[in-house]
Structure 1
């Protein structure tokens, strides 16, 4: 099991980025796929047409999202924490994704960079 840590910067207010991460209609706009998401702790979610699924653990409006991601029959929870830090010219995003199966590490790291935050950055900056 491994942990992925990344930092990204997007030229948009933290409130806008937060809303793009929790609003299913916004998620569909930047990801291009159907999404099921609720800003309610304990609710289940699906993004990328079900390729990513899990349970929302807790939220701090415009500041933090914590989710449990499902990886089959894995014993330990894979937990994703996304923190937003608003700066003068945009928002710094810090990601921590724990208990990622070793066999999934490289694909997950690239997926976060390219498809998740890459798509979000393109949505706000292009």
Structure 2
């Protein structure tokens, strides 16, 4: 198992990024795929047409999102924490992703940079 901790600069206010991460319609706009999302702890979610599935654990409006991501037959889910830090150029997004299966690490790592935060950043440029 491996962990990731990264920061991404996005030229938008935390409330706008939070909305893009938690609003089903916004998720579908910037990912270009079907999404299932309800910003309520204990609800299941699905991104990229079911490529990513899991459980919403915690929401702190305009500041924080915690999810469990499921990988096949793993006993323990992977944990994703996204924290939004306002700064003078918009928002510094802190990503912490723990318990990533070794065989999925490279794909997940690239996916965060390109597919997830790359696409999210494009929404606000």
The TM-score by the shorter chain falls in which range?
over 0.9
What is the root-mean-square deviation of aligned Cα atoms in Å? 0.6
Aligned to 1:85: 85
The runs of 5 or more residues in structure 2 that have no matched partner are: none
Residues 1:51 and 2:51 are matched in the alignment: yes
Deviating above 3 A after TM superposition, structure 1's stretches of 4 or more consecutive aligned residues are none
Q: 1:79, 1:61 → 2: CA distance?
A: 19
Alignment of 1:1-126 (within 5 A): 1-125=1-125
Gaps of 5+ in 1: none
For each residue in 1:19-61, what CA deviation from the matched residue of structure 2 results, as whole angstroms up to 9, or x when unmatched?
0000000001111011110000000000100000000000110
Measured in 2, the distance between the counterparts of 1:18 and 1:38 equals 13
Whole-Å Cα distance in 2 between the matches of residues 47 and 82 of structure 1?
A: 15
Tell me the distance in 2 between the aligned counterparts of 1:87 and 1:77.
32
CA displacement at 1:70 relative to structure 2: 0.5
1:71-110 deviation per Cα after TM superposition (whole angstroms, max 9, x unaligned) = 0111222000000001122000010111000000011000
Name the count of aligned residue pairs.
125
- Residue 10 of structure 1 and its aligned partner are, at CA, apart by 0.3
Whole-angstrom distance in 1 between the partners of 2:7 and 2:84:
10
Question: SS where residue 49 of structure 1 aligns?
Answer: helix
For the residues of structure 2 that align with 1:73 and 1:48, how far apart are their CA atoms? 20
What is the distance in 1 between the residues matched to 2:63 and 2:29?
A: 21
**C-alpha distance in 1, partners of 2:55/2:82?**
14
